[in-house]
């Protein structure tokens, strides 16, 4: 499995921006579909965004479309999530996840379908 380490979380005011990073190691990064999930306090983990192996296609949860951008740099083995116009209800631990998606189905929203996870980074948005 690939090892994942998130960074970039912190405290920001509503309407602000943050950029999360996820550094991968141990396996060939470009062999993995990558995604971001988040887990608000007391709630289940939820899908945020997903990106294909080469970064040619992306998918987003409806509530973040137009505000969040997922991207990857395969040369740097790094996944990113640019978050703008943040809302207090988006306070959560943000996780990156990886899966080889050997069946070719890259657009996956179910966290059970991802084989590797980072430890998470806390994002807190104050009102």
pLDDT single digits (tens) 71-124: 999 999 999 999 999 999 999 999 999 999 999 899 999 999 999 999 999 999
What are the structure tokens assigned to 69, written together? 């951008």
**Model pLDDT, residue 2:** 95
Specify whether the CB–CB gap between 98 and 78 falls below 8 A: no
Question: Could you tell me how many residues make up the chain?
Answer: 127
- pLDDT band at residue 14 under the 50/70/90 scheme: very high
**Model pLDDT, residue 32:** 97
**pLDDT at residue 1 above 90?**
no
**Rounded average pLDDT over 36-51:** 98
Sequence-distant (≥ 6) Cβ neighbours of residue 96 within 8 angstroms: 4, 6, 20, 22, 34, 35, 36, 37, 79, 81, 117, 118
**Rounded average pLDDT over 49-58:** 97
Provide the mean pLDDT of the chain: 97
């Amino acid at each position: 499995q690939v090892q994942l380490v998130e960074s970039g979380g912190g405290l920001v005011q509503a309407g602000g921006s943050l950029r999360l990073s996820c550094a991968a190691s141990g396996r060939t990064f470009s062999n993995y579909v990558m995604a971001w999930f988040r887990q608000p306090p007391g709630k289940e983990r939820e899908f945020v965004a997903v990106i294909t192996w080469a970064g040619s296609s992306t998918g987003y949860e409806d509530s973040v479309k137009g505000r969040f951008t997922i991207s990857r740099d395969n040369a740097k083995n790094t996944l990113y999530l640019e978050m703008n116009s943040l809302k207090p209800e988006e306070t959560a631990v943000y996780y990156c996840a990886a899966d080889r998606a050997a069946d070719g189905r890259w657009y996956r929203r179910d966290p059970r379908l991802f084989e590797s996870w980072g430890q998470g980074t806390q994002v807190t948005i104050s009102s």
